[in-house]
């Protein structure tokens, strides 16, 4: 084993001992810049932020490929409605995955307000899911007060 430790101490070529190794800070900065670039590109594709429905335009409006609209429930008087859009990044993404993504974003938005998500209208792309018509879902929803938890204190009396 002694020959391995000696071998590691020898420079790989004459004069190599004069070459300074890259500092760890420089390497860290390069890795951090690469990670930030990937994160930025990932966040720009496939999804948009939650927007107020009254002041935003549907992503299906004016689209070459329409969608099927389903009314889920009537709006609650006095509650503001919001819109969220989710689209698959490839043709291999299912409509259910896009739907789940939109619902998750809507739920998280309402939970951030301390409220519950209540779906109003869903528009989903029609197959076939081909170039420029990937699976996509738009959900119009509102954030309503969370329903009271049913407790056993007064209910059983």
Between CA 104 and CA 110, with CA 107 as vertex, the angle to 5 degrees is: 150
- Give the per-residue pLDDT at 110: 96
State the CB neighbour count (10 A cutoff) for residue 59.
18
Place of tokens 């720009």: 44
| 53, 54, 55, 57 alpha-carbon torsion, rounded to 10° | 60
Q: Is 10 part of any domain?
A: no
Q: Has residue 17 been placed in a domain?
A: no
**What is the number of domains present in the chain?**
1
Contact status, residue 60 vs residue 139, Cβ threshold 8 Å = no
What's phi and psi for 90, nearest 5 deg? Answer: -140, 175
pLDDT confidence of residue 98 = 92
* 29 in any annotated domain: no
Q: What is the pTM of this model?
A: 0.63
Average pLDDT per consecutive 10 residues, the chain (157 residues; last block may be shorter)? 56 60 66 62 54 89 84 95 91 89 96 96 88 89 88 50
Q: What is the pLDDT of residue 18?
A: 59
């Amino acid at each position: 084993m002694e020959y391995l430790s000696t071998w590691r101490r020898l420079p790989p070529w004459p004069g190599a001992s004069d070459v300074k190794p890259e500092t760890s800070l420089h390497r860290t900065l390069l890795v951090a810049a690469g990670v930030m670039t990937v994160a930025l590109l990932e966040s720009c594709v496939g999804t948009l932020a939650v927007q107020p429905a009254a002041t935003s335009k549907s992503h299906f409006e004016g689209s070459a490929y329409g969608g099927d609209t389903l009314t889920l429930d009537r709006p609650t008087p006095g509650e503001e409605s919001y819109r969220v859009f989710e689209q698959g990044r490839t043709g291999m993404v299912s409509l259910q995955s896009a739907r789940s993504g939109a619902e998750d974003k809507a739920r998280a938005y309402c939970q951030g307000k301390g409220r519950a998500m209540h779906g109003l209208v869903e528009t989903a792309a029609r197959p076939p899911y081909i170039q420029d018509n990937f699976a996509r879902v738009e959900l119009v929803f509102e954030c309503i007060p969370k329903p009271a938890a049913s407790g056993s204190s007064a209910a059983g009396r």
